[in-house]
Amino acid sequence: MTCRKIDGKAVALAVREEIAVRVAQLKEKGVTPGLAVILVGNDPASEIYVRNKGVACEKAGMRSETVRLPEDTSQEALEAEIERLNRDDGIDGILVQLPLPRHLDERRALNAIRPEKDADGFHLLNAGKLLEGEETVVPCTPKGCMRLLESAGVEMTGKEAVVIGRSNIVGKPMALLLMNAGCTVTVCHSKTRDLAGHTRRADILVAAVGKPGFVTKDMVKPGAVVLDVGINRVDGKVCGDVAYDEVAEVASAMTPVPGGVGPMTIAMLLQNTLEAAEKRA
């Protein structure tokens, strides 16, 4: 079987071009979408992510503000900063870069963001709306995965979908989105027995584990569509959770790493911010 590469880079580029057009239209009405990113401490990986988000914002014509707070910032100081941004009419999206230093309460910080400005979709109210199948701000990575499935023309109604991973930021919202789209969904995790028995039934398989090369050919149903969310570093090289070359022998379509889900995450962050600004306008 020939495996089609689902080109996340190309889809993300198209999404970002579409966003830039909508940003320009909003600007004509006097509204410039703005995203604020709060970075606490000096984690080098977070620094890179935050810089990339700022650059992407500016390229799309949006306003970007990065708030840097010292590692020893108190919960109160962090929430005061979030509150300042909640009140800033020029800011449509607020993102708290995770992970936060260990002394800070992540859940409290995320819930301090006004739900309409919750660019990551991590506020409990937005998570609850997603659970109910209501329209809401959807977490960027799973939202990007859904967009990739749509762009690849994957029919979802009635399909068996298996998500490996149950984190609040990827696995769980991904499972809900697939369920809302009409799939029959199984969520697997570290306590799952006979993982391959589940994954081999999947028409759509999403790997969000964080272990390089975790999904192998024998775990994949012939003809399955495989989305690889994982970002792992091995000998300085970025790779996903799926053993790409061998799985490509059986899958019908698959996202590569890099160049698959990753570029979509940032594109969806811009989209969430734009949609909030459109509501404001």
Q: CB-based contacts of 244: which residues, under 8 Å, 6+ apart?
A: 228, 254, 256, 257
Positions in 256-275 near ligand NDP (CB under 6 A): 261-262, 265
- Number of shown-chain residues binding ligand NDP (CB under 6 A): 24
- Which structure tokens are listed for 265? 């995450």
Residue 191 binds ligand NDP, judged by CB under 6 A: yes
Contact 238/258 with Cβ under 8 angstroms? yes
Q: How far is the CB of 187 from ligand NDP (least distance, A)?
A: 8
- Known catalytic residue: 97? yes
How far is residue 63 from each of residues 79, 90, 138, 140, 204, measured CA to CA in Å? 22, 8, 21, 19, 37
Omega of the bond leading into 258 within 30 degrees of 0 (cis): yes
Among 102, 190, 194, 234, the residue binding ligand NDP under the rule CB under 6 A is 190
Positions in 128-187 near ligand NDP (CB under 6 A): 141, 164-167, 169-171
Per-residue binder mask for ligand NDP (CB under 6 A), 82-121, x = binder: ----------------------------------------
User: Other C-beta atoms within 10 Å of 152: how many?
Assistant: 18
Which residues make up the interface to ligand NDP (CB under 6 A)?
141, 164-167, 169-171, 188-192, 195, 208-210, 229-232, 261-262, 265
Which residues form the catalytic set? 53, 97, 120
